[in-house]
Chain A
Amino acid sequence: MDGAAVALDRVRVVLGGHAAVQDVSLAVPAGQRVALVGPSGAGKTTLLRLCTASVAAESGSVRVLGADLATASAADLRAVRRRIGSVHQQLDLVGPLRAVHNVNAGRLGAWGRARALWSLARPAEVDAARRALALVGVAGKMFERTDRLSGGEQQRVALARVLVQDPDLILADEPVSSLDPARARDVMDLLVAVAADGRERTLLVSLHDFELARQSCDRVVGIRGGRVAFDLAAGAVTDEIGAALYRLTTG
């Protein structure tokens, strides 16, 4: 182990004929909280998807939690994925299931098939699920159907799923993009709390909100046009740097 949770080395990704990510090198030490910021279409989502091998690098190397994703066997890849928790923009919850099952979906990588199926009839590890839901503030909604919860409650269920998964690395793709500033603040605080629950986990989160990135994370990486525009400690990021990142290119 070299101590880095994520190590990208001169990575290039081509999607649909154009380069979504070009020549990106990025090392995230274990336990660090890193925000990826940048305009829409900059390649933030692609960078996060690289880490679960959901997209493949054209060139360069991707090492996540000690494994080289390009050469990892299927079993190795599954072992790595089990240690990665994801929170997506669209939440990706299963609407017709009760909240407890959506939380327990985080345990499927650890559970055997028989246990997973039986749990749909008689929910297993209910205490852990209840504790996770309590931590994010929706303990009372455990047995409600997920699609009958409000948007904010669903967001919390998605976070509880990550909690029970107990991953080493958390990837969050614009988790607050559809929320008003106060709620965004709230959810980011929860995300940070989830990352710090019990031990320090590595957090890699893509954000639009510059201010939020500075407040919640240790380090801010600016992405623009598929390249790293800057890579600074949170305290060193100024408003001018942020404005330059989002400026529209002219001509």
Chain B
Amino acid sequence: MTAARDLGGLTEHEFGFVARTRPRRRDGSAWPCPWPWRRRLWLAGLVAAVGWSLWSAGVGRREIVNPGGWTIFARFWKAAATPDLSGGFLRQTWEGALTTLAFAVLGTALAVAIGVVGGVLSSETWWRRDRARRGGRTSVSRGWLAGRAVWGLPRGVHEAVWGLFLVNVLGRDPLVGILAIAIPFGAVTAKVYADLIDESARGQYDALRLAGAGRVASLAYGVFPVVLPDLASYAFYRFECSIRSAVILGMIGAGGIGLQLSLSFQSLRYREMWTLIYALVAISALADVWGASLRRSSSRRRVGASLRAGAALVVASALHLGPDLGRLASAGTRALLADLAAASFPPSLPAGGWGGLVRRSVETAQMSVLAVAIAAALAVAAAFVAARGGGGAGRRATAAAARLLLLVTRAIPPPVWALLALFVLFPGPFPGAVALGVYNFGILGRLMTEVVENLDDRPHAAIAAAGAPRLSAFAYATLPLSLPRFAAYALYRWEVAARETVVVGVVGAGGLGRLLEQQRAAFDYGGMVGTALALVAVSILIDLISAAARRALR
């Protein structure tokens, strides 16, 4: 169990499914207190990282705001009141929305399929030797470690990068968008599912194994019935992420609403953009409501209905997109893959050599630090405002407005935020960080709002019942109970933000993403592989730091 936790730093906090309680020692006692100075050191380090990133981005040292862009920036926001509602464009929006949704549905379905198979194969439960060893050590075989290691690389590469590579092999086909979502998401899902299987009650599985049942049968009877609601709930969470990814993939050519967004942006038709943005908000809201109902009461009946609806959606999406499955194994694909492999290997360095690559990598890391700092600062404030529960009509209206704001900020894809930021900020990593910060504010804000809503309210009630003023009760109960989970979410999101820098980079906001886009335009495939590997290295490094920080701050 501890092994799964150590390796699964990401999954444990990703959605709070796996471990809501603090781990306890086998005899039930609490773990000893870590040295407080270690926590302080971590906090100081994180603050210093934000300061260093701000300084490097030139904040306070040179001109950042570009006053020339304000008029066009204002024009974009004014168009929000007058979206293009002509019949023709509404029909196009509807078509685009269907295409985007279809990509998300098929990408998720494939990711979940990969997740179930891969999750079982990389779970400790599957590989555990069922014969005790001398010394009483429970042992897992090497197969388990291998299964775990396999998921690192596909997960570290962003969907957009997968899309850029796959389009060179498969050509312009819906398969590109589907696989670009399914490969990285399948890897993440497999890891989460493995943890869910391992964390579920072992007793029943072991009892069946002892009675002589095979591994598959024991899983089917002893484990899956227990974890099914959690698996379904996580699959749905992935679907919500897939919608956002499908929009981004659309912007780089896969079609759907994303493509329409970038076309409207290029031709400065802001009223059309707002029609599309409102459509995205509606889709996100719908997915939110569906997912929330699934999570709140994961009753068997509702999970079953959602699974059936999901299956119907998969069929409809496949008919709508019509991916050419023959391409996967065709001679042409094989030839293109061979060409690409020949052109890509060995990976090469960008123009500046190692120095240039390291400089861009550092820039990427700094962008992610700033993005998460901006997102977390805004989200903590928003979470307490947006949380449901209690209060008069005024309080409820404010909360609803805050939730709408969060919904809109995460419905607008990061490349659009980056293009907007580039109107009013001079190019460089800073506008990229701002764009990612605003987008992640929408996501973190929503996660943190859920933390506040699900908070145990009894400690607060006890303190309030002893006559404490509202602010004091907030400071002694609500705040200390929510801050550790806020920190965990922000640190988890930091790693995601590092991977996302690539999608604001491709529109020119700096970092490795910018480099990748330049190399793509120059057909420098070897360079692209090198840059992608650097991105993976940066996100693995950040993942390690973030996991260590989460352990220290827990």
Stretch with Cβ within 8 A of B (4 or more), from A9-17, A87-95, A192-200, A210-218: A87-95
**Residue from B466, B472, B484 within 8 A of A165 (CB atoms):** B466
**Shortest beta-carbon distance from B33 to chain A in Å:** 5
- Let me know if B88 is at the binding interface, CB within 8 A: no
Complex Cα gap A101–B30 (Å):
19
Given contacts A94-B477, A116-B475, A120-B475, contact A144 B466 (CB under 8 A): no
- Let me know if A135 is at the binding interface, CB within 8 A: no
**Residue from A82, A113, A148 within 8 A of B33 (CB atoms):** A148
Complex Cα gap A81–B463 (Å):
10
Given contacts A96-B481, A117-B472, A147-B22, contact A108 B461 (CB under 8 A): no
Residues of A within 8 A of B33 (CB): 144-145, 148
Q: A116 to B481, Cβ gap below 8 A?
A: no
Residues of A within 8 A of B29 (CB): 150
Residue of A nearest to B482 (CB): A96
Given contacts A94-B481, A96-B481, contact A116 B466 (CB under 8 A): no
- Let me know if B58 is at the binding interface, CB within 8 A: no
Residue of A nearest to B22 (CB): A147
Interface residues of A in 158-182 (CB under 8 A from B): 165, 167
- Let me know if B20 is at the binding interface, CB within 8 A: no
Residues of B within 8 A of A109 (CB): 466-468
Complex Cα gap A113–B467 (Å):
12
Q: B468 to A108, Cβ gap below 8 A?
A: yes
Residue of B nearest to A96 (CB): B480
- Let me know if A106 is at the binding interface, CB within 8 A: yes
Most chain B beta-carbon neighbours within 10 Å: one of A78, A95, A105, A117: A105
Interface residues of A in 102-121 (CB under 8 A from B): 105-106, 108-109, 111-113, 116-117, 120
Complex Cα gap A86–B466 (Å):
8
Residues of A within 8 A of B467 (CB): 78-82, 84, 108-109
Q: B468 to A97, Cβ gap below 8 A?
A: no
Q: A150 to B30, Cβ gap below 8 A?
A: yes
Given contacts A88-B458, A94-B480, contact A82 B466 (CB under 8 A): yes
Complex Cα gap A150–B481 (Å):
18
**Shortest beta-carbon distance from A89 to chain B in Å:** 10
Residue of B nearest to A95 (CB): B481
Residues of B within 8 A of A54 (CB): 461, 465
Given contacts A86-B466, A113-B472, contact A93 B459 (CB under 8 A): yes
Given contacts A92-B458, A147-B22, contact A117 B480 (CB under 8 A): no
Interface residues of B in 188-238 (CB under 8 A from A): none
Residues of A within 8 A of B458 (CB): 88, 90, 92
Residues of A within 8 A of B475 (CB): 116-117, 120
Q: A108 to B481, Cβ gap below 8 A?
A: no
Q: A84 to B465, Cβ gap below 8 A?
A: yes
Tell me the total A-B contact number using a CB cutoff of 8 A.
87
Complex Cα gap A105–B481 (Å):
14
Q: A84 to B466, Cβ gap below 8 A?
A: yes
Residues of A within 8 A of B463 (CB): 105, 108
Residues of B within 8 A of A92 (CB): 458-459, 461-462
Q: B465 to A108, Cβ gap below 8 A?
A: no
Complex Cα gap A145–B523 (Å):
57
Q: A148 to B31, Cβ gap below 8 A?
A: yes
**Shortest beta-carbon distance from B510 to chain A in Å:** 38
- Let me know if B345 is at the binding interface, CB within 8 A: no
- Let me know if B89 is at the binding interface, CB within 8 A: no
- Let me know if B473 is at the binding interface, CB within 8 A: yes
Q: How large is the interface on B (under 10, 10 to 19, 20 to 34, 35 or more residues)?
A: 20 to 34
Residues of B within 8 A of A165 (CB): 466
Most chain B beta-carbon neighbours within 10 Å: one of A82, A90, A94, A165: A94
Complex Cα gap A88–B457 (Å):
13
- Let me know if B136 is at the binding interface, CB within 8 A: no
Residues of B within 8 A of A78 (CB): 467
- Let me know if A149 is at the binding interface, CB within 8 A: yes
Residue of B nearest to A82 (CB): B467
- Let me know if B81 is at the binding interface, CB within 8 A: no
- Let me know if A52 is at the binding interface, CB within 8 A: yes
- Let me know if B483 is at the binding interface, CB within 8 A: yes
Residues of A within 8 A of B462 (CB): 86, 88, 92
Residues of A within 8 A of B461 (CB): 54, 92
Q: A108 to B459, Cβ gap below 8 A?
A: no
Interface residues of B in 436-486 (CB under 8 A from A): 458-459, 461-463, 465-469, 471-473, 475-477, 480-481, 483-484
Q: A105 to B30, Cβ gap below 8 A?
A: no
Q: B466 to A111, Cβ gap below 8 A?
A: no
Complex Cα gap A147–B23 (Å):
11
Q: A113 to B471, Cβ gap below 8 A?
A: yes
**Residue from B32, B468, B472, B476 within 8 A of A94 (CB atoms):** B476
- Let me know if A226 is at the binding interface, CB within 8 A: no
Q: A85 to B480, Cβ gap below 8 A?
A: no
Complex Cα gap A148–B458 (Å):
19
Q: A101 to B469, Cβ gap below 8 A?
A: no
**Shortest beta-carbon distance from A244 to chain B in Å:** 33
Known contacts A93-B459, A116-B468, A149-B30; 18 further A-B pairs (Cβ under 8 A): A54-B461, A81-B467, A82-B467, A84-B466, A86-B466, A92-B458, A92-B462, A94-B459, A94-B480, A97-B476, A97-B480, A105-B466, A108-B466, A108-B467, A108-B468, A120-B475, A147-B22, A167-B466
List the interface of chain A (C-beta within 8 A of B).
Answer: 52, 54, 78-82, 84-86, 88, 90, 92-97, 101, 105-106, 108-109, 111-113, 116-117, 120, 144-145, 147-150, 165, 167
Cross-chain pairs A/B with CB under 8 angstroms, 8 sampled = A54-B465, A79-B467, A84-B466, A86-B466, A94-B481, A96-B483, A117-B472, A150-B29
